[in-house]
Structure 1
Amino acid sequence: MFCQGNPLTQPGMFGRRGFLMAGAAAGLGLSLPDLLMRRAAAELKHYDFIQAKAKSVIHIYLPGGMAQQESWDPKPYSPLEYRGEMGTVKTNTGETICNSMPELAKRADKYCVIRSMTHGEAAHERGTHNMFTGYKPSPAIQYPCFGSVVSHEYGPRNNLPAYICIPNVPNEFAGTGYLPSKYSGFALGSDPARDDFKVRDLNLAGGVDAQRFVRRRETLEKINQRFVSMTAADNVSAMNTFYERAYDLLDTPAAKEAFDLTKEDAKMRDRYGRNQAGARMLMARRLVEAGSRLVTLTYGSWDMHASITNSIKSQMPALDQGLSALLDDLSERGMLDETLVMVSSEFGRTPKINNDAGRDHWPKVFSVMLAGGGIKGGMIHGASDSTATEPDSDPVSPADLATTMYHLLGIVADKELMAPGARPIEIVDGGKVINNILA
């Protein structure tokens, strides 16, 4: 059960529906305490069904919009101007994917592909918002991303930040939205594929020994207490939280070591690939293994309006190698069952090749891959039509995907959180759990 502490004090436990119920109950002679107790009992029953299967999430985001036809959903029987120049390969489960991913084809029993993702946002920014929050963009409010919600609900573990971004916060929608700034992602600030890779702020400044560090910390705590007592500003509280978590990292050798790729065997680094995709995925594995709850990483640029065949041949091999190694590594370590791996992009690409031998933006149907963390491996969910123009069966919305991810983490997606102005807002509005893909 993941209702921690007193159910009457949980954020969102008694939202706008509850207050409407309170007004109606008053006319029936029910007191507010009676109503609260009944509501709490109902909530606890609801939470009984949300048993977490995933302890962590690795979200691999492919910015730009990866073509479904040149990856998870090829159309070998459609005309050339639709199917493109790439071929296909049979997976170890008998399905067909693009031959751009030969290593992943050998591991199809470990993952599920959703071929019927769909939304209506063809602009990069709006599509990205959908895929990082589960919400359509709104001019009235900023919604929190997955990592910030998970950080809010569960907090740090083993003194590691709950939400980490590799190498940096990937976009403006990967932030806290209406939640306090203290739930922001911790960014590495440097690419782990670089030879001179070093996580910023994880080492003491030159000339500062342990005793001097303790004195500085004590002085800063006194100053911070003064500021916090004088203002309730979110940025002041957030900065205080950031300092505390930074101190926790500096004081915890195991947490610091999680960021050190040199601790990995050279053969393991070669296995993932000594490139951006491989180094970032290996770092993500180290971080969730050490205790981080959600790690977001980006790789490549998939906005292939021209020469898509050559672009895929350039970028896909590193992804194919790194992701295959990640699935194998997690499985060998006994971590795959409790680590949800999600590979997504803001949308797909047009059914027909354009005049520049590329594909343009297409949100009507595209693909997402999920593995581990309670996902049923070796299956395809949903389908696109014969030219990858629109869903043919079982359409999945960003809200559905987000709701399913939260469900696997033990978070009730329609729980209400408080936005500025004491406005209750559901973590996800209207999404459904995709039960067919759950193990």
Structure 2
Amino acid sequence: MQFGHRHPFGVVRREFLQVGFSGFVGLGLPGLLAARSRAGEAGPGAGGPGPRRAKGVILVFQTGGPSHHETFDPKPEAPAEIRGEYGTIGTSVPGVRFAEHIPMLAGRADRLAVVRTMSHKHNNHLNATHWVMTGQEQPGAFFDKVASRTDYPCYASAMSYLRPREDGLPGGVMLPTYLMEGPLTWPGQHAGFLGPKFDPWQLTQDPNREDFEVENLALPEGFSVERLGGRRALAEAIASQGEAWQARAQSESFSKQRQQAYSMLSSGEVGRAFDLDEEPEHLRDRYGRHMFGQSLLLSRRLIEAGIPIVQVNLGRVQTWDSHADIFRRLREDLLPPTDRGVSALIDDLEARGLLDETLVVLAGEFGRTPKLSTLPGQTIVGRDHWPQVFSAAFAGAGVRGGQVIGRSDKSGAYPATRAFSPADLAATIYRALGIDGQAEVVDMLGRPIRLVTGSPIEELYTGEAV
């Protein structure tokens, strides 16, 4: 079934109860995946200049597609209908300027590498999201093709498959939102054809709320992490809860989620990572007392606790999709919390000695049109979808900060230098984590599928910006 495109202007967003990914997108594929290719152990610089081996990746996803003109690729010399309302601001790197409403990121440009020539061909949110989150085009992609078990696995799921954990913990966590609207479930958020066994852990609660508590991580009354120190104790604790708990455990999705939850709790560090009250008040303030900031703080705590991939969705779904009223929305609602939260994350990782071993990526699924426009019946201007060129920012894990890679044309419409695809982004993420470029997964028909089809963005590490 095909659904019409929905713009966020005037659409009421829904809150959804937290459930397992398998409950959203269908049944798993037990027995169909007979082979597993192990990840290569490529070290720093393997095969030429490359990243330091990262222990973790934080993907900060700006769902809906942020405007590159109003962030990392302003065009101050362009006509007003292209330039827009914002001015530019100097950065900590001489000669590099960002748009004026990200001053804190501008002050950390010496630790950022900005790629201004990300590019692909999908003008639709769902298809584009799948490509950016998996590094592969969605199989059989059509307009608003929803998630299915024919999709490619997201990065965390691929890691779980290639490097299965013995401690029962997931290969990745996505928070604080699940990307869906009405009947539309965004692809690229789960394990796709690998099946629900490899789905990442999905959290859908705002860490900034005073009553923040991850439902599936709540301990039964009378128990503590210390008392749940081993799997036998966990089993005994569950059994002691009586018939009600055992009846609920009959559900496959509940059982899977609960099993991972108790694995998290029993690991100690991971269970405690969700207790943001352990952080000093001044640090929480630095991140910002909002969903963006506290989610980014939680991502650092999860990386520190040993979760290899954390994706933070900056918004509920299509939050950055500014077809109208773009300048007010960005200036008042979106850029300030992003600027503050991501800047605090970089500072915090660096202060803790984690930045050298954590790759931070800030990106959306595409950019916005070079020319301002209005929606039918609207008078306040915005920018529409534009995958032909957009920006992404990188930091940590050997990335050479203080550089801009690639150049868009004078109106910010097309790459003027080499373009980089979502497949190249995926190759960069996988290699940072030590995943070999020849790594394969197995699809539903038992066929080996190359996980990496792009090339790592070498310029991030060599400093030889193009």
Q: Which residue does 2:135 correspond to in 1?
A: 134
Q: Which residue does 2:387 correspond to in 1?
A: 363
Q: Structure 1 regions of 5+ residues with no counterpart?
A: 1-8, 15-42, 221-234
2:387 counterpart letter in structure 1: P
- Contact 1:160-1:290 at 8 Å conserved across structures: no
In the alignment, the residues of structure 1 paired with residue 107 and residue 254 of structure 2 have an alpha-carbon distance, to the nearest angstrom, of 46
Which secondary structure does the structure 2 equivalent of 1:368 belong to? strand
Q: Which moved more, 1:408-417 or 1:365-374?
A: 408-417
Q: Which residue does 2:331 correspond to in 1?
A: 313
Which secondary structure does the structure 2 equivalent of 1:388 belong to? coil
1:104 aligns with 2:91: no
Counterparts of residues 2-401 of structure 1 (less than 5 Å): 11-12=36-37, 49=47, 53-94=53-94, 95-139=96-140, 141-156=150-165, 160-170=169-179, 171-206=186-221, 214-215=235-236, 217=238, 242-300=257-315, 301-314=319-332, 315-355=334-374, 356-401=380-425
Q: Provide Cα deviations, 1:335-359, integer angstroms capped at 9, x if missing partner.
A: 0010000111011000001133110
Q: Which residue does 1:35 correspond to in 2?
A: none
- Contact 2:89-2:98 at 8 Å conserved across structures: yes
In the alignment, the residues of structure 2 paired with residue 240 and residue 57 of structure 1 have an alpha-carbon distance, to the nearest angstrom, of 28
Q: Which moved more, 1:144-153 or 1:74-83?
A: 144-153
In the alignment, the residues of structure 1 paired with residue 197 and residue 419 of structure 2 have an alpha-carbon distance, to the nearest angstrom, of 35
In the alignment, the residues of structure 2 paired with residue 51 and residue 100 of structure 1 have an alpha-carbon distance, to the nearest angstrom, of 30
In the alignment, the residues of structure 2 paired with residue 45 and residue 381 of structure 1 have an alpha-carbon distance, to the nearest angstrom, of 24
Residue 214 of structure 1 and its aligned partner are, at CA, apart by 3.9
- Contact 2:157-2:200 at 8 Å conserved across structures: yes
1:273 counterpart letter in structure 2: G
2:128 counterpart letter in structure 1: G
Closer, same or farther: CA 252–53 of 1 in aligned 2, 3 Å: closer
Q: Which residue does 2:16 correspond to in 1?
A: none
- Contact 2:167-2:263 at 8 Å conserved across structures: no
In the alignment, the residues of structure 2 paired with residue 80 and residue 51 of structure 1 have an alpha-carbon distance, to the nearest angstrom, of 40
In the alignment, the residues of structure 2 paired with residue 51 and residue 364 of structure 1 have an alpha-carbon distance, to the nearest angstrom, of 27
Q: Provide Cα deviations, 1:251-271, integer angstroms capped at 9, x if missing partner.
A: 233221111101100000001
1:367 counterpart letter in structure 2: S
- Contact 2:88-2:98 at 8 Å conserved across structures: yes
Counterpart selection for 2:456 from 427, 433, 437: 433
Q: Provide Cα deviations, 1:273-297, integer angstroms capped at 9, x if missing partner.
A: 1011110100000110111100011
1:437 counterpart letter in structure 2: L
Residue 239 of structure 1 and its aligned partner are, at CA, apart by 6.9
Q: Which moved more, 1:133-142 or 1:366-375?
A: 133-142
In the alignment, the residues of structure 2 paired with residue 214 and residue 148 of structure 1 have an alpha-carbon distance, to the nearest angstrom, of 26
Q: Which residue does 1:29 correspond to in 2?
A: none
- Contact 1:114-1:380 at 8 Å conserved across structures: yes
- Contact 1:52-1:407 at 8 Å conserved across structures: no
Which secondary structure does the structure 2 equivalent of 1:68 belong to? coil
Aligned residues with identical type, % of pairs: 37
- Contact 2:129-2:187 at 8 Å conserved across structures: no
- Contact 1:54-1:338 at 8 Å conserved across structures: yes
In the alignment, the residues of structure 1 paired with residue 307 and residue 36 of structure 2 have an alpha-carbon distance, to the nearest angstrom, of 22
2:359 counterpart letter in structure 1: L
In the alignment, the residues of structure 2 paired with residue 239 and residue 52 of structure 1 have an alpha-carbon distance, to the nearest angstrom, of 38
- Contact 1:12-1:417 at 8 Å conserved across structures: yes
Residue 154 of structure 1 and its aligned partner are, at CA, apart by 2.5
2:136 counterpart letter in structure 1: Y
In the alignment, the residues of structure 1 paired with residue 216 and residue 134 of structure 2 have an alpha-carbon distance, to the nearest angstrom, of 29
- Contact 1:163-1:294 at 8 Å conserved across structures: yes
Closer, same or farther: CA 51–104 of 1 in aligned 2, 3 Å: closer
- Contact 1:117-1:398 at 8 Å conserved across structures: yes
- Contact 2:127-2:187 at 8 Å conserved across structures: no
2:151 counterpart letter in structure 1: Q
Which secondary structure does the structure 2 equivalent of 1:270 belong to? helix
In the alignment, the residues of structure 2 paired with residue 45 and residue 378 of structure 1 have an alpha-carbon distance, to the nearest angstrom, of 26
- Contact 1:88-1:96 at 8 Å conserved across structures: yes
1:400 counterpart letter in structure 2: D
Residue 241 of structure 1 and its aligned partner are, at CA, apart by 5.5
- Contact 1:67-1:348 at 8 Å conserved across structures: yes
Residue 139 of structure 1 and its aligned partner are, at CA, apart by 2.2
Which secondary structure does the structure 2 equivalent of 1:393 belong to? coil
In the alignment, the residues of structure 2 paired with residue 246 and residue 193 of structure 1 have an alpha-carbon distance, to the nearest angstrom, of 21
- Contact 1:159-1:255 at 8 Å conserved across structures: no
In the alignment, the residues of structure 2 paired with residue 385 and residue 162 of structure 1 have an alpha-carbon distance, to the nearest angstrom, of 39
Which secondary structure does the structure 2 equivalent of 1:392 belong to? coil
Closer, same or farther: CA 281–413 of 1 in aligned 2, 3 Å: same
1:284 counterpart letter in structure 2: S
Residue 219 of structure 1 and its aligned partner are, at CA, apart by 9.1
Residue 137 of structure 1 and its aligned partner are, at CA, apart by 1.6
In the alignment, the residues of structure 1 paired with residue 213 and residue 347 of structure 2 have an alpha-carbon distance, to the nearest angstrom, of 27
Aligned residues: 387
Which secondary structure does the structure 2 equivalent of 1:320 belong to? helix
TM-score, normalization by structure 1: 0.82
In the alignment, the residues of structure 2 paired with residue 411 and residue 273 of structure 1 have an alpha-carbon distance, to the nearest angstrom, of 34
Q: What RMSD in Å do the two structures reach over aligned CA positions?
A: 2.8
Q: Which has the larger radius of gyration?
A: 1
- Contact 1:52-1:410 at 8 Å conserved across structures: no
Closer, same or farther: CA 421–158 of 1 in aligned 2, 3 Å: closer
In the alignment, the residues of structure 2 paired with residue 219 and residue 10 of structure 1 have an alpha-carbon distance, to the nearest angstrom, of 38
